Chain A
């Protein structure tokens, strides 16, 4: 038996969480979310090419929080299977040999579950090398699930064990601590984002939002493209400080975004009688990294003919008039494309500016505290909160998390672990 945090079907809880005012979310979402801590059988291997893993660290992603808070678009409903164990940002140890990687090897997981993992023939996107666009995410030998962490059969990072297809695995270098390695998946998404668009030298870029996605996108833009000035719209002082450390040229508070960006990029500011203002002028590229109201902001900040890149998972309806009137390019970016993106991400994970990104690690037994902390991470100065399922003690700071580098304990304090 293993300890796992399960997401289960409960429309009532989902809707109750969705109706919470923003300020109450950190305190109330953990109680209302359709999550439960349970003892269950570890997931079995669905077929050949699958291996068992023992979780070392698993991050709490913005999409996990959106799910807990009832903010996920119903569009994604058919692409999950319940109950599932969340957690797609995973550092784990192999319990079985996987090709040239013997048992005990530390790996990170590309959570996308495409044709190869499902044992179906390759769909057109997979055949063309775009596994993240797979058409078979609800077919094959495993249940529906767009990723590990949303599929009932694979388990997820918020548990002690999970299974993964060998094609999902990427070896973690010995020198990379687990607290850095756990950033590989969100970094791979950031790498994918900046590779989705052409960024000519000197291009002016705005990043809306400075949570994990926003900050890692700034890093990817700085390290992988010849971007010009990068302006980050960040709500909290700690986020602004980190954004500058990662290469942002300017940071602006959301309340001053329009005016501040107009000062930086030129142009003029227009204020309709109803609704927020917008720029005639603006940045060449705006990257939306909030998954919320950021898209509306992005559409109002980008120049005519410019590009809005969707990095955050959209969750709100948006007025698309600017896209029509200003002939904007709206580009989506989902997960990562595979080994290239993941290798670049693993390389970026050792960047000095990422020190302290994972500053709190919780055991599964304190999942409510962990979610509450993650929901108020920006305000409290944290970036990434993670679970260490093999650990039974209270939350650890970054130094403690570093000690998890491949030496996780199996001695669990499971007191109060079962609901």
Chain B
């Protein structure tokens, strides 16, 4: 039986607490009385994942067993989440590979010849062959790549199909092959409550024309939080779109959940609570910290990006999207949800080296922004961890570094847009269309390995709710010029940051530190 989540109040006996800061970490002594929110202990992984997958496919929820949906002469499309999930990437074999292999075996038994596999990468960059192979496994890759296994291309007009509009006037346009299939089997990994369910097909296979109906400032400001689907305007839009597309094509969903074992053996102390570190853990911390601090930047980057997580699979559920996702969310909550009483004046976050959009890439300032004000700020249910008008203190070096191959429009967004305004609504009105339709970005998205031209805008909108809610954002250890460009302030130390935050929240603020990663979702009462 795993222990539930914990809210620790820092006292004299509390050891220094681990804080992530990009490709590094530190031990920080938080002021007495600070609340530290830990997730539940990592749940045990399933012993027989293969058996569980088979059972889920044969005994699905709200659907006939998968073999009954497969027949000779049908068109079957298997869609899977791209490299943005999970984080860090999963140590091979990826659970998606294991699901896809069983689906393909059943399809072969049923005599299904017309099978294609498509990555649901929406406007994310194309994955390289090696990245796809890591997800689907060598056997599937060798059998289907490149003609029957590919990235979704949201800018290929020949391969998009409009399925109409929802009652709210939202265009639903998805991948043509998938839309014209007799069955879509969607295989995903639910790392956080935001993912999966109605979002999978409606977003993963969509075009800009469709995505702009929910990836916008208004919707994001009314998604409180986007990790709490019933209270998320974004998820309401996904639901409407999914309902519409389900009238045209049947979706059989397979959702997998993982435990919180995010760091491999040399870094496993990062998964533990500090006062439970053994001597071995402490030695590993000291060695890792020292080596990390003195390593050249390139070597350090390779070590972090090369990390593969030894996740355990905690659940595999298959069947009708809504029923499956309900079960999936319960599993996610079991692993991540920690009950917290009340908001605080200041929320503190340690931002790690990785977010969904810099796998095998560089964490640029806009991604740092979206990780802090988007993903981490929104790790709550009911109400934010910090009160309205409160302060957010984030740890990250926040360097002006970009990956020119993966993030070309991010560079221009940083240089052209953010030098003029940081207001999400102004940015959306003035610049989004230009970037979304820029032929060069479209070309790079389709033919190189670039995120779509509009993608940095979505990252900025991701933080729209937090920007409106917060009174101040202070970045510890950040490059001052970069922080200023993003509209933040920079501080050298936590003490300085708290001093600066005092202007907003007073001299004796209540403090909360969200101890993540591993993933922690706060249920704020």
Contacts and interface: CB of A to CB of B under 8 A. Distances in A.
A binds B: yes
A266 B440 contact: yes
A268 B443 contact: yes
A256 interface: yes
B404 A263 contact: no
B222 to A, nearest CB: 31
B110 interface: no
- Is the interface on chain B under 10, 10 to 19, 20 to 34, or 35 or more residues? 10 to 19
A271 B415 contact: no
Contacts of A262: 412, 440
B439 interface: yes
Contact of A260 (B404, B416, B443): B416
B440 A268 contact: yes
Contacts of B440: 262, 266-269
Contacts of A259: 411-412, 415-416
Interface in B409-439: 411-412, 415-416, 434, 438-439
The main secondary structure of chain B at its interface with chain A is: helix
A266 B415 contact: no
Interface in A261-295: 262-263, 266-269, 271
Most A C-beta atoms less than 10 A away, residue of B404, B408, B411, B440: B440
Interface residues of A, number: 10
B415 A256 contact: yes
Contacts of A271: 404
Interface in A232-277: 256, 259-260, 262-263, 266-269, 271
Contacts of A260: 412, 415-416
Interface string B433-469: 0100011100100000000000000000000000000
A259 B408 CA distance: 9
B416 A266 contact: no
A262 to B, nearest CB: 7
Contact of B439 (A256, A266, A269): A266
A263 B434 CA distance: 9
Nearest to B416: A263
Contacts of B415: 256, 259-260
Nearest to B415: A256
Contacts of A263: 412, 416, 434, 438
Most B C-beta atoms less than 10 A away, residue of A260, A268, A271: A268
B71 to A, nearest CB: 47
Contacts of B412: 259-260, 262-263
A271 B440 CA distance: 14
Interface string A173-215: 0000000000000000000000000000000000000000000
Given A256-B415, A262-B440, 7 more contacts: A259-B415, A260-B415, A263-B416, A263-B438, A266-B438, A267-B440, A269-B440
25 contacts: A256-B415, A256-B416, A259-B411, A259-B412, A259-B415, A259-B416, A260-B412, A260-B415, A260-B416, A262-B412, A262-B440, A263-B412, A263-B416, A263-B434, A263-B438, A266-B438, A266-B439, A266-B440, A267-B440, A268-B439, A268-B440, A268-B443, A269-B408, A269-B440, A271-B404
List the 9 shortest-distance A-B pairs measured between CB atoms, nearest first: A268-B440, A256-B415, A259-B412, A263-B412, A263-B416, A259-B411, A260-B416, A259-B415, A268-B443
